[in-house]
Each structure stands twice: as C-alpha cells, then as structure tokens.
C-alpha cells in the first residue's frame, strides 16, 4: 500500500478517535472534585448513582449517555458516577437523598440543592428535558440565593435537599417574622418529618406527624402523615396496629382517592408479608 495512503488513513483514524473522545461525557473521579469544579464555574452536577450488578445502569451507559444531545448538554454540567456499594461518597449521597433504586440520576448544585431527581432508566431523547430543567432550575436558584434574607423559596429548596440544619434556620427566622402562611405550616412540618424518617429517627418523625394530624386536620398533608405513621409501624415489625390504623382510614370518606390507593397498597403489603 502506498505510504501516502497509509499516512492519510492514520490521520483520519486519529481525527475520528479524537472526535469520539471529545463527544463522550467526561466523568469526574470523585464528588469533591466535581463539587469544586461546579462551584468555580457555576454549573449543575449530574450524579449517576449506580451499582455494578445493575442491568439498567449499563443500558444507561450504552444508550442514554451515548445520545448526541445528551452528550452536548453534559458539556454544560459536571458529571460524576458514584457506586454506593464501593464508595463512601456514593453511600453518603444515597443516604442523604434517599436513593431507593438504581440507577438514580441526581442533579444538584454546588451546595447540594436538588435540581432534578431521575429514578430508573430513561432513554436518551427522554432524558434531555431533565437535563435542561436542571440547568433552568439552577438559574432560578441563583436568583433566590442572591438575597441574604430568609424566604419561603429558600426554605423549599433546602427542605427538598434534605438539609435540615439550614432549613431550620430559615424556618425559625420566618416564624419569628410571622412570614409563613397558616395554610402552609403543615407542608413545612411534613418536610421536616420526612427528613427525620429518612434518617430513621422515627420518634422525632412521629412527633411531626402527630402535630400535623392534631393541629392541621383539614390540610392535605394530614393524609400523608397518616400514611407514614403506618409505614413506621410496619418498619417496627408491627402487624395488627398498622392494619387497624389503615382500615380505619379507608373508612373515612374524606380521604382523597390517591391516598386511598396508597393505603390499600400498604395494607396489601402487610397482609402478604406478615
């Protein structure tokens, strides 16, 4: 073969190889590096929480992350993969954000505020809107956080991210100013309750649930509080008490249909597993 042709072929192969490398998503090796880079450049962070045995995680790598539009948008983010079974950072993130299954893709800002949470496998073209929304929400968060004053928007952001300490500071400041509407109180108490439940501090969680049930019986959140009280009973190994509790709730005509479905599902689980 002519040497000039060989040289041209090598050059072409090199160009193709470089183009492919540039197109692929660049995954940071650890969360600390990703957080620093995101903070320096004011970018969202995409965290792929995966395990080695997860089939759909591999499909995500093979199909979704190979999608051209996904790869293009990923250039506007900092990406990192974390395995909770082999990484302390991964285990911490899974616990903090209540990861229940794999894959879970979390979009957060450099302070750990949730921008998007995607549970399970999503095809490339269907994954794009989540990425775009994360970027859009980051811009909104930047506007909210630009003010040093406590606000309901800030409280929502920190509660959603499971940051109890910062949420409590903002909540207390707003309470002192009487800036939380009465009809929103149950919503925020539920937020604190769910953080405690996620941390398996069930006694404190139940205190919040009981306050909602007693003080805000007309709120939508009261039905969610009832549901999680029953869940905690089940987690404690009880059978008869949560069954009676749920059956009584199902007899209440005021319970919304969507919550009745949740109650019935939990009741079926109790009957099947006990």
41-66 pLDDT, tens digit per residue, is 999 999 999 999 999 999 999 999 99
What is the chain's Cα-based Rg?
23
Over residues 140-160, the pLDDT tens digits come to 889 988 888 999 999 998 898
For residue 189, give both structure tokens. Answer: 């108490």
Q: Residue 36 above 70 pLDDT?
A: yes
Provide the pLDDT for residue 91.
Answer: 93
Provide the pLDDT for residue 11.
Answer: 47
Provide the pLDDT for residue 104.
Answer: 96
Average of per-residue pLDDT values in the chain: 90
Q: Residue 241 above 60 pLDDT?
A: yes
Provide the pLDDT for residue 187.
Answer: 97
CA distance 156 to 149: 14
How many angstroms separate the Cα of 43 from the Cα of each of 78, 115, 211, 257?
7, 11, 39, 41
Over residues 247-270, the pLDDT tens digits come to 999 999 999 999 999 999 999 999
**At a CB cut-off of 8 Å and minimum separation 6, what does 191 contact?**
159, 160, 167
């Amino acid at each position: 073969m002519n040497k000039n042709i060989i040289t041209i072929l090598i050059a072409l192969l090199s160009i193709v190889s470089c183009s492919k490398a540039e197109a692929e998503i660049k995954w940071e090796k650890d969360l600390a590096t990703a957080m620093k880079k995101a903070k320096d450049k004011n970018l969202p962070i995409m965290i792929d929480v995966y395990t080695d045995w997860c089939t759909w995680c591999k499909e995500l790598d093979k199909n979704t992350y190979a999608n051209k539009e996904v790869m293009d948008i990923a250039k506007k983010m900092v990406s990192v993969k974390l395995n909770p079974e082999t990484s302390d950072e991964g285990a911490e993130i899974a616990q903090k954000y209540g990861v229940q299954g794999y894959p879970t893709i979390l979009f957060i800002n450099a302070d750990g505020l949730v921008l998007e949470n995607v549970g399970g496998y999503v095809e490339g073209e269907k994954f794009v809107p989540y990425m775009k929304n994360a970027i859009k929400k980051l811009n909104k968060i930047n506007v909210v956080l630009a003010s040093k004053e406590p606000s309901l928007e800030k409280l929502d952001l920190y509660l959603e991210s499971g940051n109890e300490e910062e949420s409590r500071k903002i909540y207390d400041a707003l309470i002192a100013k009487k800036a939380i509407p009465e009809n929103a109180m149950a919503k925020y108490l539920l937020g604190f309750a769910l953080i405690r439940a996620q941390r398996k501090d069930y006694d404190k969680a139940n205190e919040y649930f009981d306050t909602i049930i007693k003080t805000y019986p007309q709120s939508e959140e009261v039905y969610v509080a009832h549901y999680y009280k029953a869940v905690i009973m089940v987690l404690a190994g009880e059978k008869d008490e949560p069954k009676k509790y749920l059956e009584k709730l199902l007899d209440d005509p005021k319970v919304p249909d969507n919550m009745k479905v949740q109650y019935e599902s939990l009741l079926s689980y109790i009957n099947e597993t006990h």
